């Protein structure tokens, strides 16, 4: 398989750095360009991240001497990459304009940003759940008159712990869910050093997160009709999103009601045997198994289980009857791997395997 050249926009930030470390020695992709704000532009990557390199691993040798370009200057990257990952921190308008500019210049964009999640013709993909939403790419290209470029996004990290566990149960018609998330501080770009107020504390508010957690699943579980996404309208979600003193890992406590209640054994068997498209295709970042059910009564635990499947698997536990709804369970995912850079890399692997970077 020919290796593709990729760029990282926002490469100096927390998520950008995670892209750089996860892409080190990737079997299909080589990082050949890095871009950030004008503050970093013109510097060697190692200088631009000096004093804020978060990883315990060294900066990969093929990246440390790359000269950082300004995200706004598409021409600096054009010709050096086959596609880019986007992890920019800017206003939504600015991010949309940057990402569209790359697509217009024949550079496909796989974005970690929320800016385009509700754009009518932009697919929001969790490869294990809605890989078929890539069908929208040709429609998007036609809408804009783009040739090779397009924009695909991944969803918010808060829902990636519980939606993967619910998606294989759709045949039982889940209708109502109450989700309580317990989200790590890295999701706010923080560490315990930079966020001492979180120690010995829980904060029952994360701006905009409950809306994302309630609405994004409906697009992901929706369908394409007449060239547009139509949201799933049979499921109601009520979310409570909390910031908790964990460094990495988002936990969710879920109560769920079905139209056709399955048995506990049926649910466990479905989770155990679940082998969606990325696992069948053998995508390099696809964990196998995708869903790990832990029988111990006090699992999953954030610290013990977040790195399952190299941070890409979902760990589920405590499936039990609910006196108000049908069942309750807990689910956990790694927010900066599965929920951010790793999830986007898996999307790119899916696109590559399906030939979208060549079309």
Catalytic center residues: 157, 250
In whole angstroms, the minimum distance from the beta carbon of 96 to ligand NAP comes to 12
Q: Residue 173 contacts by C-beta under 8 Å, 6 or more apart in sequence?
A: 234, 258, 259, 260
In whole angstroms, the minimum distance from the beta carbon of 285 to ligand NAP comes to 16
Q: What 3-state class would DSSP assign to 227?
A: coil
Would you say 68 or 267 has its CB closer to ligand NAP? Answer: 68
Bridge-partner residues for 328, per DSSP? 255, 320
In whole angstroms, the minimum distance from the beta carbon of 158 to ligand NAP comes to 9
- Residue 355: half-sphere exposure toward Cβ, Cα within 13 Å: 3
Q: Are 282 and 200 in contact (CB under 8 A)?
A: no
Residues of this chain that bind ligand NAP (CB under 6 A)? 10-16, 36-37, 39-40, 71, 87-90, 112-113, 157, 186-187, 189, 335-336, 340
How far the first Cα of the chain sits from its last, in Å, is 16
Bridge-partner residues for 333, per DSSP? 250
Would you say 159 or 331 has its CB closer to ligand NAP? Answer: 159
| Integer Rg of the chain from CA | 20
φ and ψ of 325, to 5 deg = -100, -155
Q: Which two tokens stand for residue 116?
A: 């385009």
In whole angstroms, the minimum distance from the beta carbon of 322 to ligand NAP comes to 30
Would you say 17 or 130 has its CB closer to ligand NAP? Answer: 17
Q: What 3-state class would DSSP assign to 177?
A: strand
Bridge-partner residues for 7, per DSSP? 33, 84
Q: Which of 240, 209, 243, 236 is nearest to 221 (CA)?
A: 236
Residue nearest to ligand NAP (CB): 13
In whole angstroms, the minimum distance from the beta carbon of 48 to ligand NAP comes to 7
Would you say 113 or 333 has its CB closer to ligand NAP? Answer: 113
Would you say 90 or 175 has its CB closer to ligand NAP? Answer: 90
Q: Are 131 and 350 in contact (CB under 8 A)?
A: yes
């Amino acid at each position: 398989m020919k290796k593709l050249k990729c760029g990282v926009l926002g490469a100096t930030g927390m998520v950008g750095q995670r892209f750089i470390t996860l892409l080190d020695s990737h079997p299909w992709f080589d990082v050949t360009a890095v871009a950030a704000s004008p503050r970093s532009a013109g510097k060697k990557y190692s200088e631009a991240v000096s004093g804020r390199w978060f990883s315990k691993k060294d900066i990969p040798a093929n990246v440390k001497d790359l000269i950082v370009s300004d995200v706004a200057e598409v021409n600096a990257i054009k010709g050096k990459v086959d596609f880019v990952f986007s992890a920019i921190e800017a206003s939504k308008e600015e991010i949309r304009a940057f990402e569209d500019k790359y697509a217009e210049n024949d550079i496909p964009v796989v974005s970690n940003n929320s800016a385009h999640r509700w754009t009518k013709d932009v697919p929001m993909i969790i490869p294990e759940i809605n890989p078929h939403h890539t069908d929208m790419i040709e429609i998007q290209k036609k809408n804009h008159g783009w040739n090779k470029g397009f924009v695909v996004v991944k969803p918010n990290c808060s829902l990636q712990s519980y939606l993967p566990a619910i998606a294989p149960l759709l045949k039982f018609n889940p209708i109502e869910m109450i989700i309580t998330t317990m989200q790590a501080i890295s999701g706010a770009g923080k560490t315990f050093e930079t966020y001492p107020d979180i120690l010995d504390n829980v904060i029952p508010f994360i701006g905009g997160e409950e809306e994302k957690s309630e609405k994004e699943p409906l697009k992901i579980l929706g369908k394409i009709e007449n060239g547009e996404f139509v949201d799933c309208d049979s499921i109601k979600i009520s979310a409570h999103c909390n910031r908790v003193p964990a460094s990495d890992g988002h936990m969710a406590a879920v109560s769920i009601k079905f139209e056709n209640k399955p048995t506990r054994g049926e649910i466990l068997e479905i989770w155990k045997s679940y082998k969606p498209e990325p696992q069948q295709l053998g995508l390099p970042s696809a964990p196998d198994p995708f869903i790990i059910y832990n029988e111990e009564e006090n699992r999953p635990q954030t610290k013990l289980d977040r790195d399952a499947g190299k941070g890409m698997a979902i760990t589920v536990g405590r499936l039990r009857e609910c006196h108000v709804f049908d069942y309750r369970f807990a689910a956990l995912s790694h927010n900066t791997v599965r929920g951010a850079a790793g999830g986007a890399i898996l999307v790119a692997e899916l696109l590559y395997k399906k030939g979208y970077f060549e079309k």
